[in-house]
Amino acid sequence: MDEIELTLSKREILGKKVKTLRHQGMTPVHLFGPTTKSAALQGDTGVLEKVLEEESKIALISLKVGTEKRARHVVVREVQRNCLTGELLHIDFYQVQMKEKIKMDVPVLLVGEAPGAKISGNMLEHELNTISVESLPAKLPANIEIDVSSLTEGGQSIRIKDLALEDGVTILNQPELVVVRIATARAYREAAVEEEVTEAEEPVETTAPIEEPKE
């Protein structure tokens, strides 16, 4: 079982004062879990960025806090970044129990080239960016790769029901949900017309003039 190794230290600086940590090249971290006492941690920003990069390939992280000898098994639950600069602001780690299944939203990674998208007027549409799965932590995929090379014509799609994951990993999304498809120019036009018709059919609220009672 592959794991990413990481060591963090306990954090004393809380609240708005964490800005000083970031100026020192450190990122605040929050650790929690169903049987874990919530803990405020911190780590070197450069190291954490490398962990996040590796986490896209290996979901499970072996985390040591301070001088602890025994590592904890954690997954990344949430990453906060500055929406303008991309600066890493905060990470939430969720401690898992290796014998208990967990539910996670796993990123979808499209691979290959879709021949149908090269036809004039067609476009590859990525409908689902994440897929919800349930599995034991050791089986948890870092991402779900979907080969789009089978999409050769407009209108073709890959749905949840078409995916085959490793034994022990259950997809929780509805089977008919479209993950990726080849949309055609005709489909775009029909959607636009349908939208115009819908807008035209929407009732317009009017207020009738109030007549003064006749004496």
Phi, psi of 175 (to 5 degrees): -55, -30
Structure tokens at 205: 């609220």
Reported residue count of the chain is 215
Task: Set out the domains of the chain in order of their start, with CATH numbers.
Answer: 4-97 (2.40.240.10), 103-201 (2.170.120.20)
Name residue 5's beta-bridge partners: 62
CA torsion angle 60 66 67 69 (round to 10): -20
Instruction: Check: CB of residue 92 under 8 Å from CB of residue 52.
Output: no
Query: How many Cα atoms within 13 Å fall on the side-chain side of residue 158?
Result: 23
Q: In whole angstroms, give the CA distance from residue 89 to residue 45.
A: 9
Name the token pair of 200.
């035209």
Sheet holding 144-147, edge to edge: 144-147, 102-111, 130-135, 170-171
The pLDDT value recorded for residue 35 is 86
pLDDT in tens, the chain (215 residues): 578 999 999 999 888 888 899 999 999 999 999 888 999 999 999 999 999 999 888 889 999 999 888 999 999 999 999 999 999 999 999 999 999 999 999 999 999 999 999 998 999 999 999 999 999 999 999 999 999 999 999 999 999 999 999 999 999 999 999 999 999 876 555 555 565 555 556 565 544 444 444 44
Residue 17's pLDDT is what? Answer: 86
Provide Rg for the chain, Cα atoms: 25
